[in-house]
Chains A and B, each alone.
Chain A
Amino acid sequence: MKPIATAFCIVVVGLLAMLVMKAGAIEAPVAAPGAVPAETDIDASVSRVNGWLRQHWSDENLEPAERADDLTVYRRLSLALHGTIPSLEEVVAFQADASNDRVERWLLKLVEDPRFSDYFADRLARVLTGVEEGQFVIFRRDRLRAWLGEQLRADVPWQNMTTDLIAGDGLWTSRPATNFITAASIAEEGIDVNVLAGRTSRAFLGQRIDCAQCHDHPFDSWKQQDFEGLAAFFGQARVTPGGVIDRFEEEDEETKEVKAIEYVIVDPGADEGRIVPTKVPFHEEWLPKTGSRRQQLASWVTHPENRRFERAAANRIWGLMFGRAWSDPVDDIAHPADSADNEDFLDVLGQEFRSNGGQLKFLIRLIAQSDVFRMKSEVSWADADLYSRMDEAWAVYPLVRLRPEQMIGAMFQAGHTRTVNHNSNMFVRFTKLFNENDFLKEYGDATDDELLQQSGTIPQALLRLNGQFTREFTKPGAFDAAGQILKFSGEDEVLVQNCFLACLTRLPEPEEREYFVAQLRERSSDAVETAEAEDEEPWSRAQVVQDLYWVLFNSPGFSWNR
């Protein structure tokens, strides 16, 4: 090797060593109390929310699960807010932070990280516009996502975002909220107002009114008339070259007569259509008298007394945080309580959210500080029946399968000791994007109903067992996490521990540590240090570490949020 190449290698290895050893150098949140925002209302809100929960468990005669350790909570937060597990670098820094309120401070750090607004914007975009590609040119998912991200960073209240989405005018590029409207546009047919009526009631009011499109709701009070009346609010919206606008009148092609635009439905078999006036399904008095139809609808949806609005947000964000909505399905929730005595959990959570300004970050922090988010998913005293009852009553942290993008996010991060974020080099970020898309194609992206609880499939298991992503991210090469951990951990106990922290964000249990340390000592030979060595015993240490990484990737604790 030429001297310059040797020198280069030394520098690279040195840098890597610094990365692993000094992982604690990652920026820890500023020490308390400076980092905690001035508003202290959240503590009162947390205590009211937890008060309701505790009363609920006591009414159900249930002892809730014990509190989870901080690392477990940190992993949950990272998955919910960044769509990935923490890096080994972050875990080491978190562990080095010995203060009592570290989880609260790291929670604030997580929601201020650009990874939060990027990831949450993507999830909100799915709620608002589904997963279909939409019409070319006039639907710009990327712009909608970027706009949602900006709104989250600026902490714009949900009611303001909702108003922009429902009633916004302008181009899908410069006024990206209008993509909510153009997403429902069909080539040559224009805007599908039924889709918009359905999405508006599901996304903002938590009501599945869609089935009333064809018949009255089978179990609820929604009538077909309600659906049509709601759809009529979008009846004047038009997609023009200048953007989305509302048109109040237009010229008849034949008679040249200028007529008011009405929403007309032609019933099957009928020759003539009938004019459908705008109509809201309840509390007509909340409708303002002025403004475009969409503006009127937006005011009604976000009206301060429309408690369905805050309940829907509370249930949705709860669902995005846990992977399971408080009330399932997420968009078909009960009516608000008629008196303070029989308020349910969504009433309480929703009111805390609304009365504190309606910012999603506040709601996210409130949920993240609730007792449910901090509990263990294990209960040492429960049999299957009791555990199921506790699970039903949210008295134990629910086990939820990682979503596809969390899965690849976690695999990618576990394959790197350093945090993969906006500061990563272009190569790493590109590789991540590439890997993500390929993985989602094979693993199957979630459909619209992303909170539907499903078990994993065999093709997914096969992809984890034998797929190229597993092969790549378990490789013990010089630039891979497994290789760096092998090289720099020293003691076998530390090596096993670092692998567990990098993949599962937890320490190994004694029997796990013992088993894998024994593997390293008994089954490997120090002589061969590469993964490409003969595939026969004794295996090289690199092979044993690769196998440990493989085991961690395929273990239930990797695929399930716990």
Chain B
Amino acid sequence: MQNTTQRGMDRRTALGVMAASGLSFSLPGMSAKAAGRRSNERPKTLITLWMNGGMSQLETWDPHSGSESGGDTQSIKTTQSGLEISDFLPQMAEQMHGVTLIRSLTSLEGDHARGAAYVKTGYRLEPTLVYPALGAIAAHQLPDPKVEIPQHVALGGDNAFPRGGYLGNEWDAFRVFEPGRSLTNLRANVSDARLNQRTKGLEVLAKQFANSRPTSAKNTLHGDTVERALKMMSSEQLKAFELDSVPKEVLSAYGDSRFGRGCLVARRLVEVGVRSIEVSLNGFDTHVNNHAGQKTQADILDPAFATLLTELRERDLLESTVVLCISEFGRSQEVNAAGGRDHWPNWFSCVVAGGGFRKGLVLGETPAAIIPKDTKVKPKPSSPMTIPQLYATIMHSMGIDWNEEIITPIGRPIRFADADPLPELLTDKLAAAVKV
């Protein structure tokens, strides 16, 4: 059992914090040998593709073309026999034999903020406790001391970025708003000589502050944080964020979009050893003109997602990387008067690739006929799966003990995922290791 009481960090926490940002003053940067480790040798990494606003399952992974709820969407065959997805995703159709598709995720939250909080953490929003996002848990549980840049990164998102929650704000994702374009605040505005002179001045004041406050350095971690920030500013690993040297063909394969660049940066961060990366794509909230809106989004997603999987596979990194494409909820069966689809948490889809998830598996089936509005009992898909179940499964595949209880700042013990993993989603070896 671990303790995350916030005040007065103990040594273990302090070391954990240092590991969080990946800085260790005694270790060199990632060695060529470490970077060269592949597949099973490598600790697992998580990439989340966050479809912000509520991706429509009917226009993407779970079309019901020709049916009452299907709307104008056509479905196409995929490389997985018997599986069809929307014709908006031709490149992903070529990848479906290699991924797990879940069509039966369920949630009770039909509001954006509440839905996003639930899907990012696996816990419903609570007023007295902020839960950590899956990516924060991964970074917290699997620190890599050789990584000098943040272990938890969010690319291209808005304010609803993944938080560290009760693990502490040092596990919040490091945000890059324009991936591949610029890194805010990572360059000093003065010459190295002046920066050096400035830091000397800082030491004079830090010494005075620590005087007669014997626990201040440990409790405030002010000096540590500044030192780690300075170290990050000079790290070679920052190059993973830069796309200047990337050939044009690669850039265009991902699609010339903020999201595409985000996926490419995510792949580069995986290579450096960053533990969890979220790439956001905004614009799925199509209450008006759903068909065209979802098409626009799918056109951005399709090349980026497919190229990301291809490139990870080519580099033998896919088996050590879980790639999850998910949204806060799905969209309604019925098309409204404005041609839009509204929020629908009763079922929605996600795709999980790599990291020991089965290839070519489809879980769950959803009704094609429209459920009448006055139906008293909330409708459910077949083989329903909750977010906590999904996250317990992902954590298990990454080698994280999903059952581990943390003593939260409010004194309540809480386990990382409030459900057990579903072994049938995992390869035999991983499935056999599931102890419930």
Question: In chain A, what residue has the closest Cβ to B210?
Answer: A556
A471 CA to B189 CA, complexed, in Å: 8
Does A208 sit at the interface, judged by CB under 8 A? yes
Q: Given A453-B6, A459-B185, A560-B222, A537 and B193 touching (CB < 8 A)?
A: yes
Choose among B174, B226, B230 the residue that contacts A459 (Cβ–Cβ < 8 A).
B174
Residues of B within 8 A of A557 (CB): 205, 208-209
Does B204 lie within 8 Å of A536, measured CB to CB? no
Residues of A within 8 A of B213 (CB): 377-379, 387, 399
Does A552 lie within 8 Å of B205, measured CB to CB? yes
Does A554 sit at the interface, judged by CB under 8 A? yes
A104 CA to B126 CA, complexed, in Å: 41
User: Which of B66-74, B241-249, B409-417 lines the interface with chain A?
Assistant: B409-417
List residues of A (328-387) whose CB comes within 8 Å of B's CBs. Answer: 328-329, 331-332, 377-380, 382-384, 387
User: Which of B36-44, B165-173, B289-297, B393-401 lines the interface with chain A?
Assistant: B165-173
Choose among B6, B225, B376 the residue that contacts A457 (Cβ–Cβ < 8 A).
B225
Question: In chain B, what residue has the closest Cβ to A461?
Answer: B229
A554 CA to B195 CA, complexed, in Å: 12
Does A555 lie within 8 Å of B209, measured CB to CB? yes
Does A519 sit at the interface, judged by CB under 8 A? yes
Tell me how far the C-beta of A489 lies from the nearest C-beta in chain B, rounded to whole angstroms.
Answer: 18
Choose among B168, B204, B214, B233 the residue that contacts A454 (Cβ–Cβ < 8 A).
B168
Residues of A within 8 A of B216 (CB): 399, 556, 560
Does A315 sit at the interface, judged by CB under 8 A? no
Interface string of A436-449 (1 = CB under 8 A from B): 00000110100111
Question: In chain A, what residue has the closest Cβ to B129?
Answer: A449
Residues of B within 8 A of A463 (CB): 185
Does A547 sit at the interface, judged by CB under 8 A? yes
Does B201 lie within 8 Å of A548, measured CB to CB? yes
A130 CA to B113 CA, complexed, in Å: 14
Does A252 sit at the interface, judged by CB under 8 A? no
Does B225 lie within 8 Å of A519, measured CB to CB? no
A535 CA to B201 CA, complexed, in Å: 17
Does B219 sit at the interface, judged by CB under 8 A? yes
A519 CA to B196 CA, complexed, in Å: 13
Does B220 lie within 8 Å of A556, measured CB to CB? yes
Q: Given A401-B220, A459-B185, A536-B191, A554 and B226 touching (CB < 8 A)?
A: yes
Does B17 sit at the interface, judged by CB under 8 A? yes
Choose among A132, A329, A459 the residue that contacts B409 (Cβ–Cβ < 8 A).
A329
Question: In chain A, what residue has the closest Cβ to B208?
Answer: A509
Choose among B17, B193, B202, B229 the residue that contacts A455 (Cβ–Cβ < 8 A).
B17
Interface string of B270-292 (1 = CB under 8 A from A): 00000000000000000000000
Does A452 lie within 8 Å of B189, measured CB to CB? no
Choose among B7, B150, B191, B215 the residue that contacts A453 (Cβ–Cβ < 8 A).
B7
A384 CA to B130 CA, complexed, in Å: 31
Choose among B198, B212, B219 the residue that contacts A379 (Cβ–Cβ < 8 A).
B212
Residues of A within 8 A of B411 (CB): 219
Tell me how far the C-beta of A102 lies from the nearest C-beta in chain B, rounded to whole angstroms.
Answer: 25
Choose among A466, A554, A555 the residue that contacts B185 (Cβ–Cβ < 8 A).
A466
Does B187 sit at the interface, judged by CB under 8 A? yes
Q: Given A457-B169, A539-B194, A465 and B185 touching (CB < 8 A)?
A: yes
Q: Given A454-B169, A509-B208, A537-B193, A383 and B21 touching (CB < 8 A)?
A: no
Question: In chain B, what residue has the closest Cβ to A384?
Answer: B214
Residues of A within 8 A of B17 (CB): 455
Question: In chain A, what residue has the closest Cβ to B232?
Answer: A458
List residues of A (516-562) whose CB comes within 8 Å of B's CBs. Answer: 516, 519, 523, 535-537, 539, 543, 547-548, 550-552, 554-557, 559-560, 562
Q: Given A219-B411, A512-B208, A550-B198, A210 and B127 touching (CB < 8 A)?
A: yes
Residues of A within 8 A of B253 (CB): none
Residues of A within 8 A of B208 (CB): 509, 511-512, 557
Residue from B8, B150, B229, B409 having most chain A Cβ neighbours under 10 A: B229
A398 CA to B126 CA, complexed, in Å: 29
Tell me how far the C-beta of B13 lies from the nearest C-beta in chain A, rounded to whole angstroms.
Answer: 9
Question: In chain B, what residue has the closest Cβ to A534?
Answer: B191
Residues of A within 8 A of B225 (CB): 455-458, 460-461
Interface string of B111-153 (1 = CB under 8 A from A): 1010000000000001110100000000000000000001000
Does A466 lie within 8 Å of B197, measured CB to CB? no
Choose among B128, B150, B187, B211 the residue that contacts A458 (Cβ–Cβ < 8 A).
B150
Choose among B130, B170, B190, B204 the residue that contacts A511 (Cβ–Cβ < 8 A).
B204
Question: In chain A, what residue has the closest Cβ to B14?
Answer: A455
Does B97 sit at the interface, judged by CB under 8 A? no
Interface string of A474-515 (1 = CB under 8 A from B): 000000000000000000000000000000000001011001
Choose among A195, A331, A458, A543 the residue that contacts B229 (Cβ–Cβ < 8 A).
A458
Does B128 lie within 8 Å of A208, measured CB to CB? yes
A199 CA to B128 CA, complexed, in Å: 10
Tell me how far the C-beta of A552 lies from the nearest C-beta in chain B, rounded to whole angstroms.
Answer: 7
Question: In chain B, what residue has the closest Cβ to A559?
Answer: B222
- Closest A-B pairs by Cβ, 9 of them: A378-B212, A551-B201, A555-B205, A461-B229, A535-B191, A556-B222, A462-B185, A384-B214, A455-B221
**Can you list 9 pairs linking A and B with CB atoms under 8 Å apart?**
A198-B127, A202-B128, A378-B211, A455-B219, A456-B221, A462-B229, A551-B198, A554-B226, A555-B205
